[in-house]
Amino acid sequence: MIAIIDYGMGNLRSVQKAFEKVGADARIVTGPEMIAAADKVVLPGVGAFRDAIEHLRRQGFVEPIGEAIAAGKPFLGICLGLQLLFDVSYEDGEYRGLGVIPGEVVRFDFRQIPAAQGFKIPHMGWNAVEWDRPCPLMRGLDSGEYFYFVHSYYVVPRDPAASFGLCDYGVRFTAMAWRDNLYATQFHPEKSQRAGLTILQNFTEL
């Protein structure tokens, strides 16, 4: 069973429906005790970092998330779910994240980049993601595949090895993080048609 964490923020049903489309048993869970019973865990999210981390802490999800990752369960963060895994976000202030991946979450800033003048924030739409090494989540896909993005902030891992997929939008940023059993995407697989469903299928089969 794949547990999709419901902490009051995120397009949970669309994520669940996408998993169901590839034949996965994906369930929206509202209690932290249900994570221990899951084979795999998904942390989705749409909205403000501050509110999201506050909800996760209030609902008791922080420790079970850490335990699931440490136990080696396949874990997938999506969009805000990627950003929450990092140490700190500077979205409308400074807020501590889950600290699973060392690094920070920063806002797109094109003021000092002449070539990026005219780029809109948020970054919204289809963009290519490139990678240079095999990854179980990307089986059957080629580097340069297009995925759907909606975000104004992006992650900056402290360890370059944690950065897997890269995307160009004014700057070259981390579109996907990967470490052992931990996978996370800034883009939305559930909105990325064939390529996104391939990722969810691969995650299901891990």
Catalytically active residues, by annotation: 79, 188, 190
Task: Show the CA angle centred on residue 52, arms to residues 49 and 53, nearest 5°.
Answer: 85
Helices and strands, counts by H and E, the chain: 6, 14
Estimate to the nearest angstrom the gap between the alpha carbon of 202 and the chain centroid: 15
| Strand, helix or coil for residue 56 | helix
Alpha-carbon span 60 to 36, nearest angstrom: 13
| Burial status of residue 171 (CB atoms within 10 A of its CB: 0-12, 13-18, 19 or more) | middle
Torsion of CA 158, 161, 166, 170, to 10 degrees: 30
Cα dihedral sign for 96, 102, 107, 111?
A: positive
Alpha-carbon span 74 to 204, nearest angstrom: 9
